[in-house]
Amino acid sequence: MSIKLINRYECKCDRPKCGHTWVTRAETLPKVCPECKREDWNTESSLNEPLTETGRESMLNTLRAHITAGRRPFAMSLENTVTPEDWQWLMSRIS
């Protein structure tokens, strides 16, 4: 028997009229809410708040671990979970 760790997201649509909750099938954040089909389902969430210095270092270590483990596509899918400035900082340290 083999065991494989599978990374998934538990998501909740922030749209007031929807509020749908679901677990993703893929290891990436969904582009739309499967219920209301809105692309802005997570715009009100706290995922895009700027990272602290400790948060940046933690995210950098997480990205490096995923890339080292051969999960580069998953690591790159995390781009929309941080601000563009934080992502640029992270990518400058990885490359």
pLDDT tens, position by position, for the chain (95 residues)?
A: 677 667 788 888 887 788 899 988 888 888 899 999 988 888 755 456 788 999 899 999 999 999 999 999 988 888 877 888 999 999 999 86
List the structure tokens of 77.
């899918």
Phi and psi angles of residue 21, each rounded to the nearest 5 degrees, phi first: -120, 140
Do both 12 and 40 map to the same domain? yes
Residue 46: the pLDDT is 45
C-alpha 85/C-alpha 56 separation (Å) is 11
Residue 77: the pLDDT is 87
Residue 48: the pLDDT is 62
Q: How far is CA 10 from the centre of its chain?
A: 11
Do both 75 and 35 map to the same domain? no
- Domain of residue 95 covers 47-95
Do both 32 and 53 map to the same domain? no
Do both 23 and 53 map to the same domain? no
Please check whether residue 76 lies inside any domain of the structure.
yes
Please check whether residue 2 lies inside any domain of the structure.
no
- Quote the number of domains for the chain: 2
Do both 94 and 51 map to the same domain? yes
Do both 36 and 70 map to the same domain? no
